[in-house]
Amino acid sequence: MREICLCLLFLCLPAQFAAADATVIKFSLGGRDIERNRYKIDLIKLILKNSDCDYNLLYYYQERGGGHDDQIEKLEQGIITIKTFGATTELENRLIPIRIPIFKGLLGCRVFLINRNDQYKFDRVTRLEDLGRLTGIQGKGWADIKILEEAGLHQIAVPGKALFRMLNQGGRTDYFSRALYEAVGELQTLEATYPQITLEKRILLTYPFAMFFYISPRFPELAKKFARSFQQLVANGRFDAFFYTNPYIRNAIGKVRPERRRRFRIPNRHLSPKARMLPHSYWFDLDHFREYNPTAPVSRNTPAQTTLRRPPDEDPFFTTDPALAHRRTK
């Protein structure tokens, strides 16, 4: 396998970057959380290494321009090969979903980034209706907007670059709902630039939501191989070992302490029927998290042996430098 980091578009990709007999996989990354991108990179490398395809893996970082809709169009056109999105029926109809939640559903385990002067507003929240009197912000085109608004939580959609600036300035919005790992990672990355932003202390908002890998419909054979490899990693326990021992995940859960927060549950009507039918073992479980030894090495060559309990039926959520590595060949 050959890995290449790109900061611009793929349109001008030099021919010598990719071997003629290898599948070129262009994986799109974004955002400012370096460790979240590293998690995704490590996971996709694990999946591809376990597959039977010869590939060249390229990374595409897009910080400016080209928002949510633009990225979807690039996937449809085959300019991008793989990207992660929150799961929706619409995306599953337009792209090829790999229906395994890459964060085990923690995308729907939400805490709030707030202005540090506004904690008193959330100290008064005892019911979901109280939260509905406050105003949240989300990025334009994000699937979360419909989920939150249908639960009675008022949201303002703004361009991604303005989200943290508005929150840091204060006065125009009350909170920014983020997956717990997103919130912790972004705080660590942005604290020097936006010193007024902090983590709200009391509330946990949950709804069934998953982040999937989506593959361009131009590459159906790659999608089959990718899905089969990921399913093998789930079945033999290696994905659980990767996830539950990952420092990025463990650090986020340790800082948020979700089990100690006041919890509000809301529905997600936009999750597809197939996503709703995923096995309980695909979703996060706090008992599993506690049972894994965070200091135990995660083997990339042998299956992880576990004897963990399945999550309860009633609640699945609880109970960098990638440049030029080796080339994978058949």
Task: Convert the pLDDT of each residue in 80-106 to its tens digit.
Answer: 999 999 999 999 999 999 999 999 999
Query: Please, which residues have CB within 8 angstroms of residue 59's CB and are 6 or more apart in sequence?
Result: 3, 4, 5, 6, 27, 29, 41, 322
CB 251 within 8 A of CB 215: no
Residues 184, 255: contact at Cβ < 8 Å? Answer: yes
In CATH terms, is domain 106-206 a member of 3.40.190.10?
yes
For the chain, what are the domain ranges? 2-105+209-259+269-291, 106-206
pLDDT score recorded for residue 52: 79
The confidence score (pLDDT) of residue 9 equals: 40
Tokens of 316: 């699945």
In this structure, whether the domain defined by 2-105+209-259+269-291 belongs to CATH 3.30.70.2340 is answered with no
163-207 pLDDT, tens digit each: 999 999 999 999 999 999 999 999 998 889 999 999 999 999 999
Average pLDDT of 19-33?
80
Helix (H) or strand (E) holding 24, with range, is: strand 23-29
- Both structure tokens of 207: 């709804």
Distances (CA, A) of 330 to 4, 23, 64, 227: 20, 12, 37, 18
**Number of CB atoms found within 10 A of residue 149's CB:** 15
Q: Is the pLDDT of residue 315 over 90?
A: no
For residue 17 the two structure tokens come to 């970057």
At residue 64, does pLDDT exceed 60?
A: no
Closest CA to 252 of 111, 122, 118, 123: 111
At 44, list the tokens. Answer: 């996709």
Common-topology check for domains 2-105+209-259+269-291 and 106-206: yes
Q: Predicted confidence band at 299 (pLDDT cuts at 50, 70, 90)?
A: very low
> Nearest Cα to 316, choosing from 236, 191, 206, 193?
206
Q: Is 308 exposed, middle or buried (0-12, 13-18, 19+ CB in 10 A)?
A: middle
Tokens of 235: 């079945």
> 295 vs 35, which has greater pLDDT?
35
Amino acid at 146: K
Mind listing the pLDDT tens digit for each residue in 144-170? 999 999 999 999 999 877 899 999 999
Binned at pLDDT 50, 70 and 90, residue 63 comes out as: low
What pLDDT does residue 21 have?
Answer: 66
